[in-house]
């Protein structure tokens, strides 16, 4: 998916010219005739996002300068390249003062426009990234830093935004990499506590014997090795937010102390004599279902109810695939800028391929895949082959049925699956692919299940080149996509390999 460039010019010939050039540079062009239409495109929440603007200065009605000043008023910082006729240099100076990033003189050549657009996009991504880092460091990440357009996320965002207005304890559940910490930071960064610390503790990463001292602090000499007084995360977070990550891993003894701290609003340091009052907002997160931990006796029920006051469950990426193109665009721009690479877009085929993957590592996995692709790519347009080696989520080998039949699909399988329009392609050599035809109990596996496995294998084998997969499997592309959807829909997520 390429960056979107908005072109505004009242002259149809100029519009067409610039549109052609923008498309030749590999970007998507959105064309409007008036300044008002520019503002509408930038402010309408339903309009597709715009990455840069090529703006004519002289237009009837709201002119280029008017657009720049309205953008500034609305706090819109999308880069603008102004177009001016020969001799309009005075206008250019005012436009640059009003916030334009660059200017080109009509009629602009494609090379000049390309350089200008690339610079504009890079600078803008870099600015966004710098702002993100600064926000995060200052505890000021907000909900606008959460990239999502999925319907499934709308109610969650609404609840989280409401939660931000109070100090209600929030429990965020969701698989690894779905954005639990990002949400926690956005809640903090939108709350009244935003100028106070956001302190994150990974409860699963602290050795059991240190949990209490890390959370509640210790006095000097409280135990062997306590050579200094330590104030503990609760006290550190005073006035702000304490983020208890992987809270389900907290040892039972620490759970008792945590419960008491929450009930009394005070903490007692290890070896300390009296409790210290603290004012801390608690956000906890877990990638297990905390209630299950309660049921199996690993988590105290009374503490569960203290933390679970406002539960938020963030759906996995495969349940909101419509977010994938937006996330791709976001990460692409960010890494291209950070790594100073001239990667300007991603092919539609790659977007389709990536949108169909299951992403067991969720947004973190997608982020890393784009990072890798941007760094390794040899062209300015990412394609399917730039995303090899996406780790599969196949069951580990040792959990496969003991009776795995290690032999090639062909010629052991019939050339045509009975009752199915799908012929089975000649198999890859046995060392590269094998199909277990028997279940653990020694019965033949359902045909449909094996067919899905063959399709997934083929996609991985041809690195997601869907045309090639369809050709090899001797089925149409639309049949392939249909079967793939069936496979993704029917297979339990824990077993379905991404492709
Ligand atoms: N909606 C989103 N928009 C942009 N970036 C996102 C989004 N969701 C997650 N990320 C990014 O993905 C990465 C993983 O997110 P985060 O650390 O919040 O996940 P998590 O659920 O806490 O994962 P874990 O359970 O493994 O700790 C981070 O770099 C985060 O910035
Ligand atoms: Mg996390």
In short, whether 177's Cβ falls inside 6 Å of ligand 1 is yes
In short, whether 179's Cβ falls inside 6 Å of ligand 1 is yes
pLDDT exceeds 70 at position 489: no
Segment 444-469 mean pLDDT:
78
pLDDT at 408: 27
Average model confidence (pLDDT) across the chain: 82
Q: What is the pTM of this model?
A: 0.65
Confidence band, pLDDT 50/70/90 cuts, at residue 87: low
Q: Which ligand is nearest to the CA of 135?
A: 1
**Residue 28 phi, psi (nearest 5):** -90, 140
More confidently predicted of 402 and 82? 82
Confidence band, pLDDT 50/70/90 cuts, at residue 423: very low
Tens of pLDDT, residues 223-243: 777 777 788 999 999 999 999
Segment 256-277 mean pLDDT:
88
Nearest to 28 by CA among 50, 12, 5, 47: 5
> Rounded to the nearest whole angstrom, what is the distance from the C-alpha of residue 200 to the centroid of ligand 1?
14
Tens of pLDDT, residues 158-216: 999 999 999 999 999 999 999 999 999 999 999 999 999 999 999 988 888 888 889 99
pLDDT exceeds 50 at position 306: yes
pLDDT at 396: 36
Atom of ligand 1 nearest to the CA of 174: 21
In short, whether 362's Cβ falls inside 6 Å of ligand 1 is no
Q: Which domains does the chain have, with CATH numbers?
A: 4-133 (3.40.50.2300), 151-314 (3.40.50.300), 318-404 (1.10.8.60)
pLDDT exceeds 70 at position 455: yes
pLDDT at 258: 92
Max avg pLDDT among 125-139, 388-402, 441-455, 456-470: 441-455
In short, whether 148's Cβ falls inside 6 Å of ligand 1 is yes
> Rounded to the nearest whole angstrom, what is the distance from the C-alpha of residue 285 to the centroid of ligand 2?
8
pLDDT exceeds 60 at position 148: yes
pLDDT exceeds 90 at position 94: no
Tens of pLDDT, residues 21-30: 999 999 999 9
In short, whether 173's Cβ falls inside 6 Å of ligand 1 is no
pLDDT at 24: 93
pLDDT exceeds 60 at position 125: yes
In short, whether 174's Cβ falls inside 6 Å of ligand 1 is yes
In short, whether 363's Cβ falls inside 6 Å of ligand 1 is yes
Q: Which of 82-91, 379-388, 422-431, 469-478 has the lowest mean pLDDT?
A: 422-431
Max avg pLDDT among 39-53, 155-169, 252-266, 427-441: 155-169
> Rounded to the nearest whole angstrom, what is the distance from the C-alpha of residue 320 to the centroid of ligand 2?
19
pLDDT exceeds 60 at position 409: no
Enumerate residues with CB within 5 Å of ligand 2 (an ion).
Answer: 181
């Amino acid at each position: 998916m390429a960056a979107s460039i908005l072109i505004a010019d009242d002259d149809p010939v100029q519009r067409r010219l610039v549109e052609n050039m923008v498309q030749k540079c590999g970007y998507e062009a959105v064309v409007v005739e008036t300044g008002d239409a520019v503002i509408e495109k930038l402010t309408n929440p339903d309009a597709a996002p715009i990455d840069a603007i090529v703006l004519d200065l002289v237009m009837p009605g709201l002119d280029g300068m008017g657009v720049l000043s309205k953008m500034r008023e609305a706090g819109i910082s999308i880069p603008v390249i102004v177009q001016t006729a020969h001799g309009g240099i005075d206008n250019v100076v005012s436009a640059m003062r009003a916030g334009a990033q660059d200017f080109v003189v009509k009629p602009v050549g494609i090379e000049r426009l390309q350089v200008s657009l690339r610079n504009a996009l890079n600078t803008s991504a870099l600015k966004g990234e710098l702002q993100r880092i600064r926000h995060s460091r200052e505890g000021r990440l907000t909900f606008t830093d959460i990239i999502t357009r999925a319907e499934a996320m709308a109610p969650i965002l609404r609840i989280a935004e409401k939660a931000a207005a109070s100090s209600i304890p929030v429990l965020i559940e969701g698989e690894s990499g779905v954005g639990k910490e990002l949400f926690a930071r956005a809640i903090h960064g939108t709350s009244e506590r935003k100028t106070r610390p956001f302190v994150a503790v990974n409860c699963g990463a602290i050795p059991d014997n240190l949990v209490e001292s890390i959370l509640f602090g210790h006095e000097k000499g409280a135990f062997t090795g306590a050579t200094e007084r330590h104030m503990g995360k609760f006290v550190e977070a005073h006035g702000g937010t304490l983020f208890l990550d992987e809270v389900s891993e907290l040892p039972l003894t620490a759970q008792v102390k945590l419960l008491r701290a929450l009930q009394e609003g005070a903490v007692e340091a290890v070896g300390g004599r009296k409790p210290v009052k603290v004012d801390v907002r608690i956000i906890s997160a877990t990638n297990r279902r905390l209630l299950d931990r309660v049921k199996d006796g690993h988590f105290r029920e009374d503490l569960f109810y203290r933390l679970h006051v406002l539960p938020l469950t963030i759906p996995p990426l495969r349940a909101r695939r419509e977010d994938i193109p937006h996330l791709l665009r976001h990460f692409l721009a960010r890494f291209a800028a950070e790594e100073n690479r001239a990667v300007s877009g991603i092919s539609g085929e790659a977007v389709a391929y990536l949108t169909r993957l299951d992403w067991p590592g969720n947004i973190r996995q997608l982020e890393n895949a784009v990072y890798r692709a941007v760094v390794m790519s040899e062209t300015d347009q990412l394609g399917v082959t730039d995303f090899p080696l996406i780790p599969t989520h196949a069951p580990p080998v040792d959990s496969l049925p003991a009776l795995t039949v290690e032999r090639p699909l062909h010629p052991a399988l019939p050339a045509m699956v009975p009752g199915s329009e799908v012929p089975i392609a000649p198999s890859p050599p046995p060392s590269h692919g094998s199909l277990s035809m028997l279940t653990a109990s020694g019965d033949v596996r359902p045909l449909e299940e094996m067919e899905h496995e063959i399709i997934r294998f083929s996609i991985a084998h041809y690195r997601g080149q869907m045309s090639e997969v369809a050709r090899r499997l001797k089925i149409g592309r639309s049949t392939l996509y249909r079967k793939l959807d069936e496979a993704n829909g029917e297979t339990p997520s824990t077993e379905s390999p991404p492709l």
